[in-house]
Amino acid sequence: MALDDIITLIIRTIFSYIFLLIILKVMGKRELSQVSIFDVVIFLIMSELFSLALNDPDASILHFIIPVIVIAILELISSLLSLKFIKIRKFLEGKISFIIYKGEIDFKTMKKNRYNIPDLMLQLRNKDIQSPIEVEYAILEGNGNLNIIKKQDLIVEYPDPLIIDGKINYDALKKLNLDETFIYSFLAKNGYTSPQQIFFGQLLTNGFFIVPFEK
């Protein structure tokens, strides 16, 4: 490889590195343990584009920049849509699954998620839990993490919020055998007329926790 090619490659690498950092900052990426499958796909596409930009010195750097910008725009659009629509958010980020629900192991959910007892016990031991009997909820998140709520730590009636960004979480309502009447009744008692006024609402064991939108 000629010296000019080496210098060009170094310059491209530095530029691509800085450019990717800026793009990822704009996209607001989280730590690796929190990314969704959708995020992983984006990272893989970007890494492939990055590789092509470095391995083909004759190609214009625009062949790298333009696709990455398009991907970043699509990611920002999908993020905005996921804030507005719960169904889109669940499609992109995945739905939660209860491996243990109210102290009972859900074998059907385990089978559906290809989760077995050794997997479960390994995750419990990693969290210093000796037996499923200690667990009220074991929640398999959309990113594959298993989060645990112990019986002794329980303060929620249901881990998932009933109101998210002004919208009712009907999946949570169905799990609790409740309907919209319950939510509207509680909001009315606290001076609110619509879930659209509430940023976050969660059912606790001793009441309802709400965070209204700022006026």
Checking if the pLDDT of 171 tops 70, the result is yes
Cβ atoms of 205 and 157 within 8 Å: the answer is yes
Of 15-24, 161-170, 183-192, the range with the lowest mean pLDDT is: 15-24
Distance CA 94, CA 141 (A): 7
Distance CA 15, CA 22 (A): 11
Question: Whose CA is closest to 144, among 46, 40, 24?
Answer: 40
Cβ atoms of 71 and 22 within 8 Å: the answer is no
In this prediction, residue 49 carries a pLDDT of 72
Distance CA 119, CA 125 (A): 10
**What mean pLDDT is predicted for residues 145-172?**
91
Distance CA 23, CA 38 (A): 16
Question: Whose CA is closest to 113, among 101, 96, 135?
Answer: 96
pTM exceeds 0.75 for this model: no
Checking if the pLDDT of 30 tops 70, the result is no
Strands, E assignment, the chain = 97-101, 104-105, 135-140, 146-150, 163-164, 167-168, 198-204, 207-212
Predicted confidence band at 138 (pLDDT cuts at 50, 70, 90)? Answer: very high
Checking if the pLDDT of 149 tops 70, the result is yes
Mean pLDDT over all residues of the chain? 81
